[in-house]
């Protein structure tokens, strides 16, 4: 019997994470079609899509590259906080 640790598995893609991001991107599209109060342009969708892609990529990297659960949780929280901070700043037009 050996006591060697198991080799690290290769990169595992999490399609549910990316599917949830696509659903989040679809909500403003539905709101734009159904109501005049939601007025998103192509630039808004592009920026939100890039923000969601960055968040998902950060979460995938945290889950793949970090071994300790504590570091994974910390990195995931940091990615979410960066996403929410950028979203809040863009929502009130701090970046013109």
What's the CA gap between 22 and 36, in Å, rounded? 22
- Which tens digits make up the pLDDT trace of 63-94? 888 888 999 999 999 999 999 999 999 888 77
Q: Please give the residue that has the higher pLDDT: either 52 or 2.
A: 52
Q: Crossing angle for the helix pair 15-34 and 42-65, nearest 10 degrees?
A: 160
Q: Is the dihedral of CA 39, 45, 59, 80 positive or negative?
A: negative
User: Rg of the chain over CA atoms, in angstroms?
Assistant: 18
Alpha helix positions (H), 1-96: 15-34, 42-65, 69-91
Model pTM greater than 0.85? no
Residue 40 in contact with residue 2, Cβ under 8 Å? no
- Which tens digits make up the pLDDT trace of 49-67? 999 999 999 999 988 888 8
Residue 11, helix vs strand vs coil:
coil
């Amino acid at each position: 019997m050996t006591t060697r640790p198991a080799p690290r598995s290769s990169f595992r893609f999490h399609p549910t994470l990316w599917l949830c991001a696509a659903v989040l991107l679809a909500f403003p599209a539905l709101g734009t079609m159904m109501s005049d109060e939601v007025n998103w342009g192509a630039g808004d969708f592009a920026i939100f899509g890039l923000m969601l892609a960055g968040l998902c990529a950060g979460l995938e990297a945290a889950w793949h590259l970090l071994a300790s659960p504590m570091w994974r949780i910390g990195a995931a929280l940091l990615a979410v906080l960066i996403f929410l901070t950028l979203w809040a700043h863009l929502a009130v037009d701090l970046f013109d």
